[in-house]
Structures are given as structure tokens and as C-alpha cells.
Structure 1
Amino acid sequence: MTLHASLRVSRAGFSLELDLDIEAGEVVALLGPNGAGKTTALRALAGLVGSSSQITHNGSTWDGLPAEKRPIGVVFQDYLLFAHMTALDNVAFGLRARGTRKAEADTVALHWLGQVGLGDFARAKPRTLSGGQAQRVALARALATSPELLLLDEPLAALDASTRLRVRSELGRHLQDYPGHTLLVTHDPLDAMVLADRIVIIEDGRVVQQGTPRDVVRQPRTDYVAHLVGLNFYRGTAHGTEVRLDEGGTLTIAEPAEGPVHVVFPPSAVSLFTEKPAGSPRNSWQAVVSGIEQHAHTTRVELDGNPPVLADITTATVAELRLQPGDALWVSLKATEIHTYPR
């Protein structure tokens, strides 16, 4: 059963126009930069912001319902557990608010705490829980009311890096078992890639791309998306094996194409030399180092040229070239490393 949402929100200087379809059992990630409208979309679905939205599911319409009447569970970024309540009472809260008797609500809450591996923490107060445990209590609270739509608002953002990897994996397992519709709001591409079946990317309140994680990674459609997935990204016009780039420069590609195209290749495909490289046919052009940034096992070099480019090289290569901002280098790129697709 599909949940249909046509979200329309207007406020000073910003408008959201977003159409979403979420299938039962599907996890959709809403991804975008700060200010893109992600939280506004979540609040519109939850009935927490005034809008002219339309939300339908299984023949019923939700947009006229107040927030407390909508069949929705929400996990907030900071979890918002009630500090004076035990974990059990936190999870039972939604059921009690809907009129469920205490004994029955407690039974359901204890079941869900067991489902998230916290059955032994039923009497614990939030202040005694770790970040990962608090996140799981918040998830159990959201699921205890058997919602038709689960909204996750940056559910891992409050966790430290060492906890995040484990909790992300646990959350993924719980979402696989959840039969309802899930919308994950995040600015973290890794959360979206790992947890979601489909990704919807918005910028300035509009959808700019959507598809499976694999589709998005392979074929970014905007500079923001290309930056997220770590690719060099250009727009150009192809004529056979030559692409003239909109911002200047020409690249030779291995697979012929025609017309307007997007052009992508990974920074790891770029080689740097102090002199013009010789040998097998390849793209090469001169550029100037404008930035150097150390990553975990590589160094990312930003170069101004025609076109500008990002290159990932080893620390040994940095030492060999003795790179400094302002250095002039030759950039080399094999045609077989370049991927094009229609605009």
C-alpha cells in the first residue's frame, strides 16, 4: 500500500514543493543541505507546521488531522525522552496518551524494549542510558503505537563516531522488520546509502534527484550530489569521443556519446606530474594547486585548471612531489575512467 504525500509549505523567503510516494516496508531517505527543507517536510507530514499539504494512505486522508491523531511515530534528533520517566514509561507514553490502559501499555512497551535489546533497562532513567541506548528507547517509543508512518529526524546525529557505526547497523535491522512506511531525514550521505531503499534529494525546497543509492552514486545530477558521493562532476556537450565542458576545457572519453551530458570520474582516477606525461593516449592539462587536505589514508588535492579538478593521491606521492599551494602541475586522466550520461 502506497502512502502519497503532496507537501506544500510557504513561509517568508522559502517554499517547499515536494511530492513523495512511500511503499509499505520501504525506507526513503530525504537528503539535502542545511536549509533545503528536510525538517519542514517532516514537520508537515507530522502535522506540526501549517501547510496546504495532502497526505493519503489506504483510502484515508491525513492532512486535516491534528498531529496527535495522525498514525505516525517520530524519532527526533535529540530523542526527547522524558527525563523523569523510566524507559518503560517513555515507551508506553504514546499508548497511554491514546487511552490504552496502563497494564496493557506497559506490556506492549516491555515487548518493544525487548525488541531493541533493552528489556533489562525498563526501570532505567534516560540520564543513565548511553546515546545508543537512548536512541533505541526513542525508536521503541515510536514503534509501540504501531504507526503507519515512521519519521526519523537525523536519528544518528547525536551519537559519537564510535557509537554511530554500531547503532546504524542495529537501526537498519529494525527498519528491515518494520512493515510500515519510513521516511529518514538526514544530511549524512552514509546514513542514507546504508539505511534507505530509495533516496530523494532536495535543494531549495525542490526535488533535484531521486533513485536507489546505487543510481545516485553512479549518476549524480547536481554539484551538491556529486560532492556528497565524492566525484568530479561537469556538464558538457559530447560529439563522439570528445566532450566540450560548459565551464571550459575538453575531455576525451572512451565510449562515444552525443549531445548534452554529465561527466563524472573519481578523484582517485587523477594522476599528477611535474612534467607533461608521455605514453598511452590520455587526457592531460596543466593546473595549479589551490588546496591540500589530509584524509584518512589519502591526500585530496584541489587544482585550478581548465577544467578544475580534485585528485586523491597517496602521502608518498605528496612527499615525492613536495606539493604546496601555488605549485603548477600536469593533470592526467585516462579516457576509460570517465563516465558520461545524458543530462
Structure 2
Amino acid sequence: MTLYADLQVTRGTFELDIDLTIAPGEVVALLGPNGAGKTTALRAIAGLLPLNAGRISLDDDRWDEPPKTFRTPDRRPIGVVFQDYLLFDHLSCLENVAFGLRARGIDKHLARTEAARWLETVGLAEYGRRRPRSLSGGQAQRVALARALATSPDVLLLDEPLAALDASTTLHVRAELGQHLQRFTGRTLLVTHDPLDAMVLADRLVIIEAGRIVQDGAPAEIARRPRTEYVAQLVGLNLYRGTATGTRVALSDGGTITLAEPADGPVHVAFPPIAVSLYPEPPSGSPRNTWPATVTGIEQHAHTVRLTLDAAPSGPSTLLADITPAALADLHPTPGQLLHATLKATEVTSYPT
């Protein structure tokens, strides 16, 4: 059974209008900037926010279809893990996991037995009597996941499930969560702002901006061919639009880029910041893309330093370049400094808009 969600929700001046499908065993990540509508979409599927129009259904089983049908959250076969986990502090971990089962009318003894099995599954068998306040962030996340899965939901909704963890814990818990999701046979919607979480955990990415889907596809495809500036930033690429004539692309915002392979018509061009080389003087030889570029920004970026440059009018008006600490020492870049940027045509990817 496939989850189908035609989500049309209006909240004040904001409008969400997206279509989602999630197949059995599939993990779909919903990404977008703050205010894009990610949490609104999750709350609508959970039944915490009614639709204004559209439909949510699991095959022929309809959960929400205005104006006649609305099924409350407790009557939807869902499990939800919220960003702050929302564990009940007055209950033990065992009772937290058993809560959903008890709410569905399952006998207390049977519910506790099943809860204990799930705590063992997530590696917390010995934590059953503890209260949530005594847990680490990673342990609380696993208890919340066990509680969500204990009811055998058809749909699992994860709202920024790793956001509350510190950096030293995230890597381990992300790997554990991935293992649980691989075993889960239902449909999973992961709402996140973190591209790494999405790339590692999801089978498919759905990118939304301002309440609309701007890109939908496999993680590798989206990483190779971003279609908006936001997506390009997520995957760490320079991205521009332009019109190709042979190996020359006239950029929409001015300047040109030379390609290794000819193209024709409206295209996106993309390349990684690490592909941009910088020199204090015009380089010798004849690189196919060479632009004078003014430094407009400098920031530490992982193990490199990222420079933002303005290469207009001959090149892109905003150009990102990643350089090593050694190159930083050689260049001594400062805002306003003129450098010379080069880019091999073979490093540039082009694809139709």
C-alpha cells in the first residue's frame, strides 16, 4: 500500500501545496529552508493539522479529504518521533514505549512485554526502569523511536530526529537509525534540514521551498544536478543558469562559462568550489575559464577555507572557491582584494533547465 498525500494547507499568508507518495519500505526525506513547510506537511499527515483541500490516503483508506473525511491522529496507523522526542518524564522508559500500545487497548502485561522487546531491539534493555531525564540525547532518541515502532505503524514520521543531538553523538545514532529504517517495512517520511541526514538515510529526496516542490529524486541525482540555489548550497556546488551555444554559456546574470562538451539552449551549469583555483596574478597558459575576481567573503568551511568572490562582468557575480590553509597563507586574501580565478572546462557539468 502506497501513502499518497496531496497536501493543500493554508496558514495565514502561507500556502503549502505539494504531492507526496511513499511506497512500502521507502524512506523519503523532506528538505527545505526554515519556513518552507516541512513541519506543516508532517503535521498534516499525522492528523495534527487538517487539510484545506487535497487528500491523504493509504491506498483506498482515506485519512483526510475535505470537507467530509478527517481521521484523528489516534485513528491513523502512524508512529511519530518529534524533534525533542516528547517522552513522558513521569513514566519509565518501559512505560513510555508501552504507552501507544496501551492507548490502543492492548493489555498492560502484553504491552509491557512488547515494550521490553523493543527496548532490547534498540539496545536499551537495561534502561526500562529509568526515567527519561536520566538519559543521554542518543538514548532518548532511541526510546522515542522504539515507542513509535512498537505499535507496528504503517507510516513512520520523523521530525528532525537527530537535531537535538550533539555532534559527537550524531554520527553513531544516525548509523543506528539507518539500520532500523532498513528493517522497517512501512513507509517513512523524514523531515530534516540536514543534507547529510537525508543523503545517508533516505532513498529519495523531496526538496520544498515556499510551500512548493522544487526537486524530487534519488540523493545521487540531486547531488549531481541541483536545480535551485538552495539545493546547490545543500550539496555544495556553484550553480548558474544560462543559454548554451556550443561550448559557450552566456549566464543569465552576466558573464560566460566555457564547457568541455557542447550544449544548446537553456541550461544549468554546476561545479564544486574546490574546482576553482585562485592566483594573485593572471595565470600563465590559457585556462578556458579565467576571470578577475574580487574577494567579498571569507569563512572557515570544514577543513578548507571558503572564499566568496565577484567575478563580474566576465564571469559569475557570485563565485565560491574552497582553498587549503596552505593556499590561504600564500594568498593572504582580504575583502576587496583582486585575485584571478580559473576553472577547467572539464570540471563544469551542464544539463537542461
Match of 1:310 in 2: 320
Match of 1:150 in 2: 156
CA gap of 1:128–1:14, structure 2 versus 1, over 3 A, is same
* Alpha-carbon offset, residue 114 of structure 1: 0.8
Match of 1:62 in 2: 63
Question: How many angstroms apart in 2 are the aligned matches of 1:269 and 1:245?
Answer: 19
Match of 1:31 in 2: 31
> Structure 1 residues 148-157 or 53-62, which shifts more?
53-62
Question: How many angstroms apart in 1 are the aligned matches of 2:43 and 2:27?
Answer: 18
Contact 2:305 2:323 (8 Å CA) reproduced: yes
Q: What pairs up with 1:149-298 in 2 under 5 angstroms?
A: 149-298=155-304
* Alpha-carbon offset, residue 148 of structure 1: 0.3
Matched, 1:340 2:350: yes
Q: What pairs up with 1:322-337 in 2 under 5 angstroms?
A: 322-337=332-347
C-alpha distance after superposition, 1:141-179 (max 9, x if no partner): 000011000000000000000000100000000000000
Match of 1:6 in 2: 6
Matched, 1:114 2:115: no
Aligned letter for 2:204?
A: R
Gaps of 5+ in 2: 65-69
| 3-state DSSP of counterpart to 1:332 | strand
Question: How many angstroms apart in 2 are the aligned matches of 1:165 and 1:136?
Answer: 14
Match of 1:320 in 2: 330
| Structural RMSD (CA) | 0.9
Match of 2:102 in 1: 96
Contact 1:289 1:327 (8 Å CA) reproduced: yes
Match of 2:91 in 1: 85
Aligned letter for 2:207?
A: I
Question: How many angstroms apart in 2 are the aligned matches of 1:150 and 1:258?
Answer: 44
C-alpha distance after superposition, 1:214-239 (max 9, x if no partner): 01100000000001111011000001
| TM-score scaled by length of structure 1 | 0.99
Aligned-residue identity in percent: 66
* Alpha-carbon offset, residue 67 of structure 1: 1.1
* Alpha-carbon offset, residue 180 of structure 1: 0.1
* Alpha-carbon offset, residue 280 of structure 1: 4.3
Match of 2:67 in 1: none
C-alpha distance after superposition, 1:33-70 (max 9, x if no partner): 00000000000001101213411214211112111111
> Structure 1 residues 60-69 or 233-242, which shifts more?
60-69
> Structure 1 residues 300-309 or 217-226, which shifts more?
300-309
C-alpha distance after superposition, 1:11-48 (max 9, x if no partner): 21111111001010000000000000000000000110
| TM-score scaled by length of structure 2 | 0.96
After superposing on structure 2, the runs of 4+ consecutive aligned residues of structure 1 that deviate more than 6 Å are none
Give the number of equivalent residue pairs.
343
Aligned letter for 2:329?
A: A
| 3-state DSSP of counterpart to 2:179 | helix
Match of 2:139 in 1: 133
* Alpha-carbon offset, residue 3 of structure 1: 1.2
Contact 2:287 2:342 (8 Å CA) reproduced: no
| 3-state DSSP of counterpart to 2:278 | strand
Matched, 1:17 2:17: yes
Contact 1:44 1:53 (8 Å CA) reproduced: no
Gaps of 5+ in 1: none
Question: How many angstroms apart in 1 are the aligned matches of 2:208 and 2:332?
Answer: 41
* Alpha-carbon offset, residue 313 of structure 1: 0.6
Question: How many angstroms apart in 2 are the aligned matches of 1:281 and 1:191?
Answer: 37
Contact 1:72 1:150 (8 Å CA) reproduced: yes
